[in-house]
Amino acid sequence: YLPSSWTGYAPTYVEVGEFLGSFGLFFTCFLLFCRFLPMIAVSEVKGVLHYARSDGEGGPHGR
């Protein structure tokens, strides 16, 4: 096994497709996770915004 007999490597279309498909599958699963299992529910954030304002103007319209 001699390093002098090594040659260059060129991936085939199948290998490039598998590589891109693995990224696509990861991002699809990641985006589905973000869509259906958010870390903080938006409804909870909207409910807390009224009380979180420090200037005392937390009305129903957020002004």
* Per-residue confidence (pLDDT) for residue 16, from 0 to 100: 98
49 within 8 A of 58, measured Cβ to Cβ: yes
Give residues with Cβ within 8 angstroms of 19, minimum separation 6.
11
**Within a domain: 23:** yes
Structural domain boundaries, residue 40:
11-52
**Within a domain: 37:** yes
Long-range pairs of 32-41 with CB within 8 A, sequence gap ≥ 24: none
**Within a domain: 58:** no
**Within a domain: 39:** yes
pLDDT in tens, 31-51: 999 888 877 777 777 777 766
Averaged pLDDT of the chain: 81
* Per-residue confidence (pLDDT) for residue 32, from 0 to 100: 93
**Within a domain: 47:** yes
0.75 cut: is pTM over it?
A: no
**Within a domain: 27:** yes
Total domains in the fold of the chain: 1
Burial 25-44 (b: 16+ CB within 10 A, else e): eeeeeeeeeeeeeeeeeeee
Among 2-6, 31-35, 54-58, the range scoring the smallest mean pLDDT is: 54-58
**Within a domain: 61:** no
